[in-house]
Structure 1
Amino acid sequence: MHDHITDAVKAPDLIRLTDDVVLARFETMKVYAALGAVRSLLRRGRVVPGQTLVDSSSGIYALALAMACHRYGLRCHIVASTTVDATMRAQLEILGATVDAMPPSQSLRLDQELRVRHVRRLL
């Protein structure tokens, strides 16, 4: 049994393909990146538990960051791309994240620009 969701999803499933080849299947590699980033921020004193991390994301990294924040007692605020669906939003909110969904835009570039502007307003 895992103590936290991050432990469960970061651990790879090992699958033997042949005698000489083992496949490491990760549910999401981004959990490693998010955990590493949050640990580094905490270790260096850049954030302390109870503070809020803000990120603009189109999905999987947002989920990984929400998991890491949940694990280390940080609040998480995601400025979400229009590609974040209701299921992903529900998962983020279950982990305690605040989710600001941006209005639809005519292009991915404009979508990203709107998200970055919103993040700057939050900071």
Structure 2
Amino acid sequence: MSAFAWMSRQRQLIAGYFNRKEEVVMYAVFGKSIKKEEQRKGDIANKLSLSDRYYSNKNAYQISPDYYSLARCHEFIELAKKTHDVRCIYIAQAEKVTVEGAPKISKKTGKPLFRFVRLTGI
């Protein structure tokens, strides 16, 4: 098989993978970063010190890109442990937003909406 034929076959396989109809499960790591906590404004920022806000488990936000496997999330967590700028709190799984049993569709994109739900703590 020539190199060109091999590359064409690989492109077909990749396109088939991303165009499949089955549900793809996405995961993300939620936590806090020191940089964002320093930028926060409002009542919480005035009442609590930076270290109190950083170490609380409330109001965590997505700190990683969307991943298709839990193994990738755990790799991200291991890399984040080496730095003190980011604190990982939990892994979340994406699920479709439904209204009365039917998936809710985005007005902007026309695609189903997703939200992240807590899966496992760290």
Q: Specify which structure has the higher proportion of strand.
A: 2
Q: Larger relative CO (CA 8 A, sep 6+): 1 or 2?
A: 2
Larger Rg: 2
